[in-house]
Amino acid sequence: FLIIPITNLNKIYNIVIKTINTDISFLIACMQFLLIFIFSLTWLFSFIFSFRVLYGIHNPKDHITNFPNKSSFYPAGLFKFNFIDAFINRKKIKSVIPFDEYIKLYGNENLFLKSLIFEQMKLVYIRDLKLLRSKHAYIFSGVWLSSGFFIWLMYLIKNN
């Protein structure tokens, strides 16, 4: 629903122009302009936050303190993919490191447990950040819809 204003910019512009009343006091005119500004700004923020919720988050390991930079639980580069792999699952894709060598990366149960906890902390970071972005997208969408409703009401009152 955030795309609707883009597809109807001409209609929205005409309604806003008709809504602005030149026969009113300066204070009411300022309130109208403020409402239109809030409508535009909250739409923009809603749009940005909605995309940021869907957008991937770079490796969150940089946000976890007191942990070595190396974790063997989800190592990068275990598989080599190319462009075609984005479309189909090819059977010839094999791990770069054989299973027996990969299992040796852990060494002992303590390292395995630390790696699991580290990965859980990274997932918590991603979850919390996406929830925060989602919350703000909903808040700005609500303010955007409310301000749009008031602009529409002003338009109806003025033109009836």
Note whether 21 and 32 are within 8 A (CB).
yes
Q: Which residues pair with 95 in a beta bridge?
A: 79
Residue 81 binned pLDDT confidence (cut-offs 50, 70, 90): confident
Residue 2 binned pLDDT confidence (cut-offs 50, 70, 90): low
| DSSP assignment letter at 86 | G
Q: Which residues pair with 157 in a beta bridge?
A: none
Q: Mean pLDDT throughout 99-123?
A: 80
Q: Mean pLDDT throughout 115-144?
A: 89
Q: Mean pLDDT throughout 106-112?
A: 76
Q: Mean pLDDT throughout 22-38?
A: 76
pLDDT for 62 equals 75
pLDDT for 29 equals 73
Q: Chain-wide mean pLDDT for the chain?
A: 80
For residue 69, is pLDDT > 60? no
Q: Tokens at residue 93, please? A: 């894709």
Residue 132 binned pLDDT confidence (cut-offs 50, 70, 90): very high
For residue 101, is pLDDT > 60? yes
pLDDT for 128 equals 92
Helix, strand, or coil (residue 55): coil
Whole-number percent of the chain with pLDDT over 70: 82
Spatial CA neighbour of 29 closest among 144, 37, 148: 37
Which residue carries 């002003």 as its tokens?
154
Q: Mean pLDDT throughout 28-56?
A: 85
Output the pTM of the full model. Answer: 0.66
| Long-range contacts from 91-99, C-beta under 8 angstroms, 24+ separation | none
HSE-up (13 A, CA, CB side) for residue 14: 5
Q: Tokens at residue 134, please? A: 């989602």
